[in-house]
């Protein structure tokens, strides 16, 4: 017995190769990198950590006047500090609330773009044609519905997590004699257990949603209806999904390890090259410009190098994300009954590969139409040949058995025919 998730690996690899390398299209890679960025294909962040050192007045020397809390220091250059005084007069709670609202709006907008890009990614790979603007407009409604579903699931999980913490609130907040180290350890283990359980449930739901997205596109249904269809198919053939989850887990580990090695090597190479370029730039600039201006120019160089490194890493993450998505689509094509995904490499008239007879779209009666037409044509030709004979072209007087001299016989024959 073969499993769909295992069989889909070779087909996904061949489709990835055809889509990305046959032929190679740089701008296609760029657009796919943009899509992968929004759908979360990179999975890692880069950047340094700051220190906890705070500079005091002794770091500046004895020329800096002492600053009394609540007072605005006098500028040695007679600059008006009216704006700074206005900022200080604003309630800090208002500033914090405004920052939180802006952060929430940014997260919602980014999540909406990410939800739409999920559909754009599927359509681009199935057709092997990336059209960001056209596909984004096409799936704006479906992406909004997916965003609402994900927000509802996230809110539900948050409520469940908060409710799971209620039994321990009284222990941690109040000084109770019941509080002890075992209670603390038990509470920590309970919290970790709830987090792990919610993470597993969330992974299962997210897997069903990922499978429901292509179903929603190519069955032209809503995302909730597609989710329900995937769940019903899971109940009929759950063994394939369990194997699929196992294969996806192993593929995720393998692809992630390979990507990590590649990113580390590339990152080290880029750091060495950047240091060499920055050293040469510093040596050249030191002969023409002043020291402060040199550091400003070098800071711009470093910023450009960081952006270039990030863009290059996103470009290199495209094959891994494309392969995993092709694996999902290839598995879904085989596992889901009645789903005909119009892949770019599918030959015309190829039957479906699902458990039922999928892909032709013709019923058994429609498939037998050519045979019926051929038999009808043969029967019509046979009837026409029977109707045509030399006797039909002979005059009535010359036909065998006719006797025109006896008019009574002719009239009797005519009357018998009319009867």
Query: For the chain, which residues make up each domain, given as ranges?
Result: 4-42+81-365
The alpha carbon dihedral of 153, 154, 157, 163 has a sign of: negative
Token pair recorded at residue 231: 């769940």
Residue with more model confidence, 98 or 179: 98
For helices 291-335 and 181-218, the axis angle rounded to 10 degrees is 70
pLDDT tens-digit map of 383-404: 444 444 444 444 444 444 444 4
How does residue 135 score in pLDDT terms, banded at 50, 70 and 90? very high
Query: Which residues are CB-contacts of 306 (< 8 A; sequence separation ≥ 6)?
Result: 46
Least confident of 1-5, 245-249, 292-296, 398-402: 398-402
- Give the pLDDT score at 327: 95
Mean of pLDDT over the chain: 76
Residue with more model confidence, 53 or 243: 243
Q: Is the pLDDT of residue 216 over 60?
A: yes
Angle CA 97–103–107, to nearest 5: 145
Phi/psi class of residue 68: alpha, beta or left (left: φ > 0; alpha: ψ in -120 to 50)?
Answer: beta
Averaged pLDDT for residues 280-300: 83
- Give the pLDDT score at 383: 47
Token pair recorded at residue 348: 């015309």
Q: Is the pLDDT of residue 98 over 70?
A: yes
- Give the pLDDT score at 51: 37
pLDDT tens-digit map of 293-347: 888 888 888 898 889 988 998 899 999 999 999 999 999 999 998 888 899 887 6
The answer to whether the CB of 317 falls within 8 A of the CB of 33 is: yes
Averaged pLDDT for residues 141-152: 94
Q: Is the pLDDT of residue 268 over 50?
A: yes
Question: Could you tell me which of 21, 5, 4 has the C-alpha nearest to residue 322?
Answer: 21
The answer to whether the CB of 217 falls within 8 A of the CB of 119 is: yes
- Give the pLDDT score at 172: 63
Question: Could you tell me which of 76, 86, 147, 81 has the C-alpha nearest to residue 118?
Answer: 147
Query: Which residues are CB-contacts of 403 (< 8 A; sequence separation ≥ 6)?
Result: 409, 410
Least confident of 98-102, 132-136, 189-193: 189-193
Residue 353 — φ and ψ, nearest 5°?
-115, 10
- Give the pLDDT score at 177: 54
The alpha carbon dihedral of 273, 276, 279, 283 has a sign of: negative
Question: Could you tell me which of 219, 161, 221 has the C-alpha nearest to residue 192?
Answer: 161
- Half-sphere exposure (CA, 13 Å, Cβ side) for 108? 11
pLDDT tens-digit map of 165-183: 887 776 666 655 555 667 6
pTM listed for this prediction: 0.68
Token pair recorded at residue 368: 């037998």
pLDDT tens-digit map of 186-214: 778 888 999 999 999 999 999 999 999 99
Q: Could you tell me how many residues make up the chain? A: 419
The percentage of residues in the chain with a pLDDT greater than 70, rounded to a whole number, is 67
pLDDT tens-digit map of 228-240: 999 999 999 899 9
What is d(CA 172, CA 184) in angstroms, rounded to the nearest whole number? 8
Q: Is the pLDDT of residue 84 over 80?
A: no
**Secondary structure class of 24 (helix, strand, coil):** strand
The alpha carbon dihedral of 401, 403, 406, 412 has a sign of: positive
The alpha carbon dihedral of 328, 334, 339, 342 has a sign of: positive
> Taking the chain, what is the end-to-end CA distance rounded to the nearest angstrom?
72
Averaged pLDDT for residues 27-34: 94
- Give the pLDDT score at 122: 95
């Amino acid at each position: 017995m073969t499993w769909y998730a295992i069989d889909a690996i070779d087909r996904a690899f061949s489709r990835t190769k055809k889509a990305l390398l046959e032929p190679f299209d740089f701008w296609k890679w760029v657009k796919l990198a943009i899509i992968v960025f929004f759908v979360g294909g990179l999975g890692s962040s880069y950047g340094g950590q700051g220190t906890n050192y705070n500079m005091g007045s002794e770091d500046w020397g004895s020329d800096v006047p002492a600053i009394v809390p609540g007072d605005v220091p006098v500028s040695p250059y007679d600059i008006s500090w009216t704006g700074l005084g206005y900022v200080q007069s604003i309630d800090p709670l208002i500033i914090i609330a405004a920052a939180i609202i802006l952060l929430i709006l940014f997260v919602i907008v980014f999540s909406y773009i990410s939800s739409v890009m999920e559909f754009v990614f599927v359509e681009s790979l199935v057709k092997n044609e990336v059209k960001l603007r056209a596909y984004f407009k096409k799936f704006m409604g479906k992406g909004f519905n997916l965003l609402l579903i994900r927000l509802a699931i996230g809110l539900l999980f948050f409520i469940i997590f908060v409710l799971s913490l209620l039994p321990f609130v009284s222990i941690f907040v109040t000084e109770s004699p019941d509080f002890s180290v075992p209670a603390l350890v038990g509470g920590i283990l309970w919290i970790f257990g709830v987090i792990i359980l919610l993470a597993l449930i969330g992974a299962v739901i997210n897997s069903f949603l990922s499978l429901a997205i292509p179903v929603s596109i190519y069955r032209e249904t809503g995302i909730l209806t597609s989710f329900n269809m995937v769940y019903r198919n899971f109940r009929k053939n759950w063994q394939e999904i369990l194997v699929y989850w196992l294969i996806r887990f192993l593929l995720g580990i393998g692809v992630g390890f390979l990507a990590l090695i590649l990113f580390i090597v590339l990152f080290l190479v880029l750091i060495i090259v950047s240091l060499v370029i920055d050293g040469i730039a510093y040596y050249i600039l030191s002969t023409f410009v002043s020291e402060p201006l040199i550091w400003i120019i070098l800071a711009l160089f470093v910023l450009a190098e960081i952006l270039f490194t990030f863009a290059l890493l996103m470009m290199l993450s495209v094959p891994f994300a494309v392969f995993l998505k092709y694996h999902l689509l290839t598995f879904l094509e085989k596992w889901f009954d009645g789903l005909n995904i119009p892949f770019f490499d599918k030959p015309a008239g190829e039957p479906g590969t699902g458990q039922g007879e999928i892909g032709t779209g013709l019923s058994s009666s429609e498939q037998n139409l050519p045979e019926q037409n051929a038999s009808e044509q043969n029967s019509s030709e046979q009837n026409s040949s029977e109707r045509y004979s030399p006797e039909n072209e002979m005059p009535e007087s010359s036909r065998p058995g006719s006797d025109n001299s006896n008019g009574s016989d002719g009239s009797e024959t005519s009357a018998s025919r009319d009867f």
